[in-house]
A and B are shown apart, each in its own frame.
Chain A
Amino acid sequence: MLSPNIKRAVDIVANVAVLVICAALLLPFLGRHLRPVFRNDGAATSLLVGAIFPQLPTLSYSAHHATVLLFLNTHCVSCRESRSDYFDLQTSVKVGNNSAAVYAVFSAADSQQAIGEMQLRLPTIRVERFDKYHVSGTPTIVLINHKGIVKDFWIGTLTANAQTNLVRLAKEI
């Protein structure tokens, strides 16, 4: 039988240990948010199909029957690996004269020079932060119709099937 004092001491040590472990686990998370090259921006809400997508500066969704937004980052591994796929998308989504528009979107954390060095060969838009658009990681690809409604979205590298689906949906809208 342990005395009450020892039991209390064990309890305190166990509580402190839990707090230390939790702090250790939270450190990478904090590091991730304080990283200078890319901020997670802590998106409060997730992307939602069927919802109105916030307006991007200098872009009118009604100008095209569909808009494909590629939320990218100059330090993003998958974004760099998929550059040629993104370029090909422009051609794939063409439907006569009324083709869907494809834009690369970067946050202000990326300099114009770094964006240029990516050699995307796509029209580019810079926004202050991604959280306004419910985007919390790159690459995130959002398909929007001419009314500004989200028709679908993809996170990460597009598989061959996902690329086919994106192109099909962009043409069907």
Chain B
Amino acid sequence: MLKKAVLFLQFSLWAMAGTVSLRPLEFPGVQVSRATAPSVQPFITSVLGGMGSERELVRSLLPYSVVLENSTSHAITAYTLLLTFVDANGKSGRDIRQYFNFESESNGMEIPAGTQHLVTPLWAFGLHTILHLRVGPSQREAEVLTTRLSFQTAVAISVDLVVFDNGQVIGADDANTLSYLKGYLNGEHEAASLVVDAINKGDSPEQVATRLQRLVDALRQQNTYEAYARASQASRFLRFAKNSPEGLYDKAQRVLGRIPVTLYR
């Protein structure tokens, strides 16, 4: 009975929602469809079929989700789902979720060539993505979002940004999330260079940590997406400097030894 009631309530909220429109992403080999479109239902069924208790959570997000299909010859390493909306009083809002993986090891977010992902405002799933959602907090997060969206008169969904493994960037980037990615990529090299230079000059682990802390503080004052991303990378090195100072130099050298990803349009 309770399950029926919850499903009925979810359906009622969905029925109450205003118009949901999809802004397209035009690029050869990249297809974006609403997750409620009939053409993608076999894929949605397969993705949901592999889930446990989180299935109903993900199902409640489908009206605001897309299926991103990658038929190019390159893997997609980053993408942003942007929801913009207005309520009856003309108050605007937006919800941005960015997914990415620039590491060689999979985190389930990358979309290999010839595959597709279900991209929701809270999580992204491929056919074999394993996410360990904490159902309690995740449910609250999903409920807060779907309830908020259900009271909007108009919602636009778009895949605002896509980055391929060769660094090519496509998409409008209305939400300016490309600057975050640039900061994320540059910030890792920036922090690694600082560590290597400092250690080569003979700085102690404590002095290196102090330098990193100064960098984090300076970046946080800039209050931009890019600086925020750079600060988060410097913070990662700072934690490492404090917890495992013996491995810091090697870690920084490994980062500097990698071929840097250059983003281009």
Q: A26-B12, A46-B21, A155-B155 are in contact. Are A138 and B175 (CB under 8 A)?
A: no
B9 & A138 in contact (Cβ 8 Å cutoff): no
Q: Which residue of chain A is the closest to B171 with respect to CB atoms?
A: A165
Asked, given contacts A22-B12, A139-B90, A156-B94, whether A46 binds B22 with beta carbons under 8 Å apart, the answer is yes
Given the contacts A46-B19, A46-B22, A139 and B5 also touching, CB distance less than 8 Å:
no
Q: Let me know if A3 is at the binding interface, CB within 8 A.
A: no
Task: State the interface size on chain A (CB cutoff 8 A).
Answer: 46
> Is B151 in the interface zone, CB < 8 Å from A?
yes
Main secondary structure of the interface of B (DSSP, over half): mixed
Residues of B within 8 A of A26 (CB): 12, 16
Q: Considering the complex, which residues of chain B in the window 209-230 have a beta carbon less than 8 Å from any beta carbon of chain A?
A: none
B side interface size, CB within 8 A = 37
Q: A28-B151, A137-B153, A161-B173 are in contact. Are A75 and B90 (CB under 8 A)?
A: yes
Is A66 among interface residues, defined by CB-CB distance under 8 A?
no
Contacts of B19 in A (CB 8 A): 43, 45-47, 134, 136-137
Task: Decide yes or no: A40 and B92 within 8 Å by CB, A18-B8, A46-B20, A161-B173 being known contacts.
Answer: no
By the criterion CB–CB under 8 Å, are B154 and A152 in contact? no
Chain B 78-109 interface 0/1 with A at a Cβ cutoff of 8 Å (1 = within)? 00000011111111111000000000000000
CB–CB A25/B174 < 8 A = no
Bound together, the chains give a CA A28 to CA B176 distance in angstroms of 34
Chain A residues, Cβ within 8 Å of B9: 18, 21-22, 25
Q: Which residue of B lies closest to A50 (CB)?
A: B24
Is B21 a contact partner of A77 (Cβ separation < 8 A)? Answer: no
How far is B158's CA from A170's CA once the two chains are assembled, in angstroms?
Answer: 19
Q: A137-B152, A137-B154 are in contact. Are A156 and B21 (CB under 8 A)?
A: no
**Max chain A Cβ within 10 angstroms of own Cβ: one of B13, B154, B155:** B154
Cross-chain contact B90 with A159 (CB below 8 angstroms): no
Q: Does A11 contact B (CB under 8 A)?
A: yes
Are the C-beta atoms of B174 and A161 separated by less than 8 Å?
A: yes
Report the Cα distance A35→B87, complex, angstroms: 13
Residue ID in chain B nearest A30 by CB atoms = B16
B153 touches A156 (CB 8 A): no
- Please name all residues of chain B whose beta carbon is closer than 8 Å to the beta carbon of A157 when the two chains form the complex: 92
1/0 contact trace for A50-87 toward B, CB 8 Å? 10000000000000000000000101111110000000
A137 contacts B12, CB within 8 Å? no
Q: In residues 147-175 of chain B, which contact A (Cβ within 8 Å)?
A: 151-156, 172-175
B1: Cβ under 8 A from any A Cβ: yes
CB neighbours (8 Å) of B13 from chain A are: 25
**B87 in contact with A137 (CB, 8 Å):** yes
Q: Which 4 A-B pairs have the closest CB atoms?
A: A76-B90, A137-B154, A156-B92, A137-B153
**Residues on B facing A (Cβ under 8 Å):** 1, 4-5, 8-9, 12-13, 16, 18-24, 84-94, 151-156, 172-176
Jot down 24 A-B pairs with beta carbons below 8 A, ordered by A. A14-B1, A18-B5, A18-B8, A21-B5, A38-B89, A40-B88, A40-B153, A43-B19, A45-B19, A49-B23, A73-B90, A76-B86, A134-B19, A136-B19, A137-B88, A137-B152, A153-B21, A155-B156, A156-B84, A156-B93, A156-B94, A156-B156, A160-B176, A161-B172
